[in-house]
Structures are given as structure tokens and as C-alpha cells.
Chains A and B, each alone.
Chain A
Amino acid sequence: MNREDAVRIVMSMLEKNVNGLEMSEDKMDKTLVDIGVDSLDVMLVIMDVGEAAGVTISDDQAEELDTPEKIVDFIIN
């Protein structure tokens, strides 16, 4: 999967699951907490991203993914 597809998946899953969130490039390196994603939303976003990208994200790995950019990096690597 290329970066462009990964960014699209991460942005769309964030917008789908977080009420009122509109994603933009400048939010990619902000922490999920700072862009208004609470601890329950994070679990749903990580699950949906994993399923959409066809990758398995373990609990320990998920704990480290605290920005949209880190989620993108994880699924393309």
C-alpha cells in the first residue's frame, strides 16, 4: 500500500468515527488526544484502520500509535 492510500484510510476512519472531526494534512502529526479523539474512539479507529488496510495491529502496537502519521507509517511498513 502506498502512502497516499494509507493517509486516505486513516483520515476517513478518523472522520467516520469521531464526531465533528474534519481531517487535514496539518493534523497528521498532532496527537490523537489533541485533535479530539478520546480513548474509546481510538480503539474503534485502530480497529477500522486495521481492517481497511488488511493489517493486524496488536494491543501493544496500538498503544504506540498516538498520531495519525504514526498510524500511516505503521500500515505502510
Chain B
Amino acid sequence: MLGIQSIASYLPKGRVDNLEQADRFETDREFVEQKIGVSSLPRFEEQDSVVSASVAAFSNLCAKESIDLAEIECVVLCTQNPDKGGLPHNSALVHAELGLPEDCACFDIGLGCSGYVYGLSVIQSFMAANGMKKGLLFTCDPYSRILDPEDKNTCLLFGDAASVTLISETPRYTLASAKFSTKGAGSEALQKNGSQLEMNGRAVFNFALQDVPKQIRRVLENAELKAEDIDLFLLHQGSRFMLENTIKRAGIPLEKAPIRLSETGNTVSSSIPLLLEKELGKSPGTILMSGFGVGLSWATAIYTQVK
């Protein structure tokens, strides 16, 4: 059975001091540190791109795993801010940079903060349907490309990052149960207007606190599990305040749900893989992941360790 074998990430070297940004926006530093929960944001520099960051994440993966490029049969890349406007699809550009074989399927997925949970399911299903044994799921969504520099609601929040997950027939974790939801009527809460991102903070907040906990409970019920049965909850790292309250409303034990965005900010579809990479060393038995955002789209999945 296909599943997650390994994972690696990449944070660009560029940094934005969020407390200096707070001063620029005449916002209380304590509010930015304690409520938004972000002190420093990784930012693409001029030479960075979705492709270069994805390739850098892959280099980090190669430092952990022995990977034969000739065996990679599938590459899926999740982004809504691709290089070259998405034409060609960036997975093809990554394919070229890595020197992958021609017998390799490549396609992009256009999803935001729910993208990792969706992406895992998509790549595993596609590979299973086509008899593939090894594939790579990349996430890289550099929101710095679309931030309005005068909009403090978004500038103080989003960071750039990339991740890659190795999917194989010798997995450490396999999918047990998942649920995917959409509220298209609420999509204006988080959208690009012209070339810049617009966010209705209140609408996103209400969505995260009201809809996400319901889905988490449903996934647990469908799997006949309780919150206590899950070892690790990986929730999309939107902002500290939103996370703390989503966790509380979902009835999740605080100690099982890491909040770790102080040095990364909200990295969109990379936020869950960044957490997962750090937590895999502890070998949690059962992991629940929940991603939510643009769409409005939200997805929750339970992965269990292969014994």
C-alpha cells in the first residue's frame, strides 16, 4: 500500500523581521508576537522561485533518503502562485531540473491551505490507479508574490516555504480516513483581486472556528476514534489566535497539537508538511492532519503508522 515514506522542506534565506513590520504598521509588538504568533517570516529573494525552492527541498530529502531518480514515476506540485504564471505547469520544470525520466507523470494542483491533505490523497490515488511505486508531492506557494505591502492583515501573516513528500510502497504512514469539504459561496473571504491578495479576516476566522472543528469531529467519528486516540494533531498554522481557538473548539488536547509558526508564519500548503517533518522523529502512531483556507476549502485526514 502506498503512503508517506519521508518528508523534507526548505525555507528561503530571505527574512522579514515581523516586529519591525509591526512598527511600520503602528501595531503593538506584543499583539504580533502573542496573538498572530509570528516573529519572523521567511521570504523569497529575487533569485528564489517555486522551482528552485522545490529543488532545494528535494536536495534536503536526498540527505535523508537514498533516492534513485530513475524510479520516480510521478511528481505533483501544489501551488497557486506558480513560476511563469503556471504555464508550463511547474511540476514539469521541477522534472527537468531534477533530471527525472520521461516515464514520469507530472501535474500541478491549484489549492491553498487545504492543499497538502488533498495533495497526499490525489497523488496516492493516482499512483495506485496507474500502478506506480514512487512519487513526489511538492508544496510551494510564495504568497510574498501577491502581498499588498500596505495591507497589515496579510503582510504580518504569510511566509514562503517549500516541502517535498516521498510517496512509496514502503511507507511509514498510510491513509486511514479523510473528508474533503468546500464552501465556494464564501470564496471572497480569501482571494486575489487584480494582482494582490485580499483577506476578510473575520470571515476566515469564523470559518476556521466553526467549520473546521465539525469536520475534525466527523472524521474521528467515521474512523470510530476519539481525540484521545490520536497521538498528534497537525492543523494548518494560520495564526496563533485562530489555531488556539480552533483547537479548543475541536476538543483537541492542547499538548497534542503543536503551534509552531513563530519563525515561519502561515506558509499555506507547506505549513502541515513543515510540522510533519519535525514530528516524524517522535514516531507518533496516529496523526490527524487538517488544512483549511482558500476556497473556502478544508480537508482532514488520519494517517496511521505502519508497524
List A residues at the B interface (Cβ < 8 Å): 38-40, 43-44, 47, 59, 62
For B28, give the chain A residue with the smallest CB separation.
Answer: A38
Chain A residues near B35 (CB-CB < 8 A): 38, 40
Question: Shortest beta-carbon distance, A59 to chain B, in Å?
Answer: 5
Q: Are B202 and A43 in contact (CB under 8 A)?
A: yes
Q: A38-B31, A38-B35 are in contact. Are A43 and B210 (CB under 8 A)?
A: no
Across-interface contacts of A47 in B (CB, < 8 A): 205-206, 209-210
B176 part of interface (Cβ distance < 8 Å): no
**Known contacts A40-B35, A47-B209, A47-B210: does B202 contact A62 (CB below 8 Å)?**
yes
Dominant secondary structure at the B interface:
helix
Q: Across the A-B interface, how many residue pairs have beta carbons closer than 8 Å?
A: 22
On chain B, the residues within 8 Å of A59 by CB distance are: 200, 202-203
| Chain A residues, Cβ within 8 Å of B209 | 44, 47
B201 within 8 A of A: yes
Q: Main SS of chain A's interface residues?
A: helix
A40 to B202, CA, bound (A): 9
Residues of A within 8 A of B206 (CB): 43, 47
Minimum CB distance partner of A42 in chain B: B202
B241 contacts the other chain (Cβ, under 8 Å)?
Answer: yes
Q: Closest Cβ of chain B: how far from A37's Cβ, in Å?
A: 12
Interface residue tally for chain B (C-beta within 8 Å): 12
Give the CA-CA distance A38 to B201 in the complex, in Å: 14
B182 part of interface (Cβ distance < 8 Å): no
The answer to whether A40 touches B241 (Cβ under 8 A) is yes
Shortest B193–chain A CB gap in Å is: 17
What 0/1 readout, one digit per residue, does chain B (123-144) give for beta carbons within 8 Å of chain A? 0000000000000000000000
Q: Which residue of B lies closest to A43 (CB)?
A: B205
For residue A16, give the distance in angstroms from its CB to the closest CB of chain B.
11
Fill in one digit per residue for B31-65: 1 if any A CB lies within 8 Å of its CB, else 0.
10001000000000000000000000000000000
Q: Which residues of B contact A62 (CB under 8 A)?
A: 202
Query: Bound complex: CA of A75 vs CA of B206, how far in Å?
Result: 18
6 A-B pairs besides A38-B35, A47-B209 with CB distance below 8 A are A39-B201, A43-B205, A44-B205, A44-B209, A44-B245, A59-B200
Q: Chain A's nearest CB lies how many Å from the CB of B83? A: 34
- Nearest chain A residue, comparing its CB with the CB of B245: A44
